[in-house]
Amino acid sequence: DIQMTQSPSSVSASVGDRVTITCRASQGISSWLAWYQQKPGKAPKLLIYAASSLQSGVPSRFSGSGSGTDFTLTISSLQPEDFATYYCQQANSFGLTFGGGTKVESK
């Protein structure tokens, strides 16, 4: 299976900050990557698919980039509702795998 490694595992930030989360695949996955946001006690929410395509209804402050093995999720200006845990997921091949998660916390 393809291993997905996220960094950092947690980040402390303030409202208005630019936040960047990275995800590295153990082998090339082209652009077949998604990003999800999860809040405590809730199901994950799809933010980005195909590495850089914004899911309908997701604010434009979220953006994704990358291809091959290295990917980035950027929140351009952190809002109060963005404090959550973020996961990447490779969609290149079954078994599908997720990164370990990045928790965005209030500084």
Partner 1 sequence: EVQLVESGGGLVKPGGSLRLSCAASGFTFSGYSINWVRQAPGKGLEWVSSISSSSSYIYYADSVKGRFTISRDNAKNSLYLQMNSLRAEDTAVYYCAKEMATGTLPYFDYWGQGTLVTVSS
The binding site for partner 1 (CB under 8 A) comprises: 1, 32, 34, 36, 38, 43-46, 49-50, 55, 87, 89, 91-92, 94-101
Per-residue tokens: 59: 């604010």
Q: How far is the CB of 43 from partner 1 (least distance, A)?
A: 4
d(CA 42, CA 25): 26
Closer by beta carbon to partner 1, 36 or else 71: 36
Closer by beta carbon to partner 1, 43 or else 60: 43
Q: How far is the CB of 19 from partner 1 (least distance, A)?
A: 19
Closer by beta carbon to partner 1, 2 or else 17: 2
d(CA 71, CA 22): 6
Question: Which residues have CB under 8 Å from 46's CB, separation 6+?
Answer: 34, 35, 36, 55, 58
Q: How far is the CB of 75 from partner 1 (least distance, A)?
A: 19
Other CB atoms within a 10 A radius of the CB of residue 98 amount to 15
Q: How far is the CB of 46 from partner 1 (least distance, A)?
A: 5
Closer by beta carbon to partner 1, 74 or else 100: 100
Q: Are 82 and 32 in contact (CB under 8 A)?
A: no
